[in-house]
Amino acid sequence: MLINILIAGTVVVCPDCDVRGLKQAVAIAQPYDTILVKEGHYTEDSIIVDKPGLVIMGEGEAVIDANHKWEAILVIADSVTIKGLTVMNVPVSYIHDHAGIKFDGVSGCVVENNTLINNFFAIYLAHSENCLVKDNYIKSNATREMAAGNGIHAWYCHDLYITGNTVIQHRDGIYFEFVDNSFIEGNYSTKNLRYGLHFMFSDRDVYSHNTFVNNGAGTAVMYSRLISLYNNIFEKNWGGASYGILLKEIYDCKIYNNIFRENTVGLYMENCNRTPIEHNDFIGNGWALRVMANSQENMVSQNNFIDNMFEVATNSRRSFNKFNKNYWSKYNGYDLDRDGIGDIPYRPVSLTSYLIENYEAISLMLESYFLKLLDLLEKIAPSINPVGLIDREPLMEKVKHD
């Protein structure tokens, strides 16, 4: 292999060259060759890269235009690198998952610094491993969820490293299904029709430093274990069924140092278990946390809950999770012994929040003076709150996270 690399040649593609297309270049290239695609508009589709180790590099505006015919590039050989290309106009199909750049059954691929415009799926990884997807700019003009594909789509993969990508207006920004031991880091996902991140049946993954803004339904992490989720920003995911994160059937994860700002629901937990939720900021959400009764043994601690319309909602009167030492901006207790911990325990599930969670139609009474009156009564007589969920050591000052 070393020898192969050393003797690797370069194939140049340009509109006026002998090699006028990528397909032609791949055909004449030897494994581990570099294909240099010069600036130009190449109307090509169904390019199958079947030689291992090829490095396909775009130079300047090297545009592969599938012209709405079929998918653009399909890589079926290992260790292929695709850099600096612009791939566009891969058509919508209801039968075939057309993608701008698709890897199927490969190992060690690199997709870096590409621009993917108006494709059905953009970057697609199936049955692959050890791949780097880095610094790509991915944008679609989809408007209907049914006629849209995902920005970065991975299934049955492991050891992926997805970093620094921007995904705009696809169906799901980043889609993981059966992807283990992978990193999603520093990506920016916005205006996607469904989820900014859609994550299922994937274990032992880390996602950090990502920003998910204004996606149709926020992000969803489901049926997974041992996920670490930190330093992400979930913002302005606002709509009837939008969540900063929707967690469903989750075990043994860690959620820390994230910011949940102005989402309909910051963090929604359904059957989410044994997961510490610490050092997060929940700011200006409709509901900061919605915890269903089947979520158990989670530890909610050292978080800041600031200016949320409802801090915590739950459909159960018993609490199966531990809430301790959080800062609640609605807390108005006192701290006589000056130890920074309020002397009166705090019940973050207000009576109205409890009523709305259990009798959905009561949400129609939002902003009515009757509900305001209930809140007032609860302040005067906290015992009318039927919910057992309680923070016994509410903090007087905001937590300063590291």
Partner 1 sequence: MQLRNLSSGSRQLSLFEHYINDIVRGKWFIAYTVLLFALIYAVLMFSFETSQAVVGVMNLVIFIVPAVGLFFTSMYYYSRREFMEFILSQPVSRTFVYFSFYLAMSLAMIFSFILGVSVPMFIQGFAPEAIKMSLWGVLLNMIFVAISLMVSVLADDRVRGLGTVLLLWFFFTIFYDAVLTAVIIYFRDYPIEKFIPFVIAINPVDDFRISTLLSTDIAAMLGYSGAVIKHFFGRFFGVLYVAFLQSLWVLIPFLVGLWRFRKKDF
Q: Pick the closest to residue 37 from 18, 60, 3 (CA basis).
A: 60
Q: Which two tokens stand for residue 216?
A: 């149709």
- Say how many residues touch partner 1, by CB under 8 A: 23
Taking CA atoms, 258 is separated from 316, 326, 390, 401, 402, in Å, by: 26, 14, 22, 10, 12
The gap between the terminal CA atoms of the chain, to the nearest Å, is: 46
What residues from 21 to 50 belong to the interface with partner 1 (CB under 8 A)? none
The contact pattern for partner 1, residues 353-382, with x = CB under 8 A and - = no contact, is --x---xxxxxxxxxxxxx-x---------
Taking CA atoms, 296 is separated from 170, 252, 253, 276, 387, in Å, by: 34, 11, 13, 11, 16
Q: Are 208 and 234 in contact (CB under 8 A)?
A: no
10 makes contact with partner 1 (CB under 8 A):
no
What residues from 116 to 175 belong to the interface with partner 1 (CB under 8 A)? none
In the complex, minimum distance from the CB of residue 359 to partner 1, in angstroms, rounded to a whole number: 5
In the complex, minimum distance from the CB of residue 353 to partner 1, in angstroms, rounded to a whole number: 11
In the complex, minimum distance from the CB of residue 235 to partner 1, in angstroms, rounded to a whole number: 14
In the complex, minimum distance from the CB of residue 89 to partner 1, in angstroms, rounded to a whole number: 34
In the complex, minimum distance from the CB of residue 358 to partner 1, in angstroms, rounded to a whole number: 8
What residues from 245 to 284 belong to the interface with partner 1 (CB under 8 A)? 264
Taking CA atoms, 289 is separated from 25, 28, 348, in Å, by: 54, 58, 10
Q: Are 134 and 111 in contact (CB under 8 A)?
A: yes
The contact pattern for partner 1, residues 210-239, with x = CB under 8 A and - = no contact, is ----------------------------xx
What residues from 297 to 316 belong to the interface with partner 1 (CB under 8 A)? 309
Query: Which ranges constitute the DSSP H helices of 220-308?
Result: none
Binding site for partner 1 (CB under 8 A): 238-240, 242, 264, 286-287, 309, 355, 359-371, 373
